Amino acid sequence: MIENEKVEEMMLEMDERCEKTLNALENEYMGIRAGRANPHILDRIEVEAYGGMSKLIELGNVSALDARCLQINLWDKSLLKAVEKAILQSNIGITPTNDGNVIRLVFPVMTEERRKELVKQIKKIGEESKVAVRNIRRDSMDVLKKMKTAKELSEDEIASCEADVEKEISSVMAKLEGIISAKEKELMSI
């Protein structure tokens, strides 16, 4: 690694952006259900409550009763209808049942067709993450090109930095591939 403040700053920014991309992909995948009841599927759902929007997970307890059923126990029972409406509008593909005290979400067994559809969806999301990482690489290389033009670094130092960038990006791409294939495997296992 070259001892240059600008290079170090660029490498730190690149690492940070890559880490954000990996985290974003993992968070996105948490919301995709794999036939099992996963409370994270409700993380993004917002409910109209108390004159504003509140996250569903802030309004009560969400627990998995078994592998295919989630139960939402709200602290304020007057919000049952609003929560039910928010779940229906969220397009998670599950119809809530309300017994007056709790809301239950029963996850249907996924068909082979639905699994394949979800695999296409995760591959599309994964490809978007790969494009983001490629853009990070391009931005980092542009910084190095500007430094080369400004003669801030020698040819050898630039080549060394470019190799470091490529090495880091390859590592991140491998991690992305691992996350994508793990989610695909999870979706296709019964």
Predicted confidence band at 13 (pLDDT cuts at 50, 70, 90)? very high
Task: Specify the pLDDT at position 113.
Answer: 84
Rounded CA gap, 44 and 49, in Å? 15
* Higher-pLDDT residue of 6, 23: 23
Query: Is the distance from CB of 96 to CB of 103 less than 8 angstroms?
Result: yes
Out of 23-27, 42-46, 80-84, 118-122, pick the least confident: 42-46
* Higher-pLDDT residue of 50, 181: 181
pTM over 0.75: no
pLDDT tens by residue, 144-168: 999 888 888 888 888 999 999 999 9
Burial of 87 (0-12, 13-18, 19+ CB in 10 A): buried
Rounded CA gap, 61 and 188, in Å? 29
CA distances from 63 to 46, 72, 148 (A): 18, 7, 56
Task: Specify the pLDDT at position 1.
Answer: 55
Q: With pLDDT > 90 as the criterion, what percentage of the chain qualifies?
A: 31
For the chain, which domains are there? 5-31+111-188 (1.10.132.20), 39-106 (3.30.1360.40)
Task: Specify the pLDDT at position 53.
Answer: 86
Assess whether pLDDT exceeds 70 at residue 34: no
pLDDT tens by residue, 19-28: 999 999 988 8
Predicted confidence band at 179 (pLDDT cuts at 50, 70, 90)? very high
Task: Give residues with Cβ within 8 angstroms of 52, minimum separation 6.
Answer: none
Distance of CA 110 to the CA centre of its chain: 22
Rounded CA gap, 129 and 123, in Å? 10
Query: Is the distance from CB of 73 to CB of 96 less than 8 angstroms?
Result: no
Q: With pLDDT > 70 as the criterion, what percentage of the chain qualifies?
A: 96
Task: Specify the pLDDT at position 33.
Answer: 64
Predicted confidence band at 35 (pLDDT cuts at 50, 70, 90)? low
Query: Is the distance from CB of 100 to CB of 80 less than 8 angstroms?
Result: yes
DSSP strands (E only) in 13-127: 46-49, 52-55, 60-66, 69-74, 96-98, 103-106
